[in-house]
Amino acid sequence: MSEQESLEVIQQMIYAAKIEQKDDGKGWIIWGWVIFFASVFSFINLKTGWFEEFFFWNLFGIATILLLFFKTIQSFYRKKAKVVRTYTSDLLSKLEPGFFISLAVIIVSMNTGGVHPTKGFALLLGLYGFWILIYGVVLNFKPSVIGAYVVFAFALASLFVAQFEWTMLLHAVAVLCGYIIPGHLANLEFNKLNQEVNTQRV
């Protein structure tokens, strides 16, 4: 192996390591748009009275169950293949159950009358912001760190909103800033880096 070829191999390994530490943002994009539309349509529905108050959130719940079912089936089949685990992905996978348990506690509290939905969605935004911050810090992704603090600001603002429809509007904008925009930026960065790696291999 020549010196030039050795340098190319080293460069390819560096690019591969960088990709392993990046997220393609697809999860943030998918969940972001689903939550965004559920919030926006709920806002419109509360203004027009088309359906029952939580009609679109019930649809969201059904969509969530289907997505989780698909993800479970997908992960089951992926176990057959050897998956490379990095410290970053392993850390996030260990923290993820804590997020979903906290999410479930807030949702159950809203559905059992323990917390009013107006305040409950403010608490959800606080939880979103914390998870986005963890993701941004662990992956050293600045748009998510910024997005997290924007979501925290909307969570605080939501505590002082009395009408549920305006809570839905704040919820939609917060998800746009914390999930959707950083998710698309992460996807662009991931694809760009992946393209560089493929170019180096040619």
**Structure token digits, residue 58:** 């019930």
**Residue 148 pLDDT greater than 60, yes or no:** yes
CA atoms within 13 A on the CB side of 169: 12
* Interval 86-124: pLDDT, tens: 677 778 888 888 998 999 999 999 989 889 999 999 999
**Residue 146 pLDDT greater than 60, yes or no:** yes
Strand locations in the chain (E) = none
| 19 — pLDDT class (breaks 50, 70, 90) | very low
- Residue 19 one-letter amino acid: I
Nearest to 183 by CA among 39, 26, 19: 26
Helix, strand, coil share (%) of the chain residues, nearest 5:
85, 0, 15
What is the pLDDT at residue 4?
56
Query: What percentage of the chain reaches a pLDDT higher than 90?
Result: 49
In the chain, where are the structural domains located?
3-201
What is the pLDDT at residue 123?
95
pTM as predicted: 0.80
